[in-house]
Amino acid sequence: MPSIDPNKDFPELAKQLWALGDPVRLQILRILPSGPTCHNACNVSKIAEQIGLSQPATSHHLRILRQAGIISNQKKCRDMIYWINQEAASAVNAQLREVLG
**Mind listing the pLDDT tens digit for each residue in 43-93?**
999 999 999 999 999 999 999 999 999 999 999 868 899 999 999 999 999
Instruction: Encode pLDDT of 14-45 as tens digits.
Output: 999 999 999 999 999 999 999 888 778 899 99
Q: What is the pLDDT of residue 1?
A: 46
* Residue 63 phi, psi (nearest 5): -60, -40
Total-model pTM: 0.87
Pairwise CA distance, residues 23 & 4, whole Å: 27
Q: What is the pLDDT of residue 24?
A: 98
Pick the CATH number of 6-100 from 1.20.1300.10, 1.10.10.10, 3.40.50.720, 3.40.50.1980: 1.10.10.10
How many Cα atoms are found within 13 Å in the side-chain-facing hemisphere of 75? 1
Q: What is the pLDDT of residue 2?
A: 53
Q: What is the DSSP string of 49-93?
A: HHHT--HHHHHHHHHHHHHTTSEEEEEETTEEEEEE-HHHHHHHH
Q: What is the pLDDT of residue 38?
A: 78
For range 10-14, the mean pLDDT = 91
Q: What is the pLDDT of residue 78?
A: 82
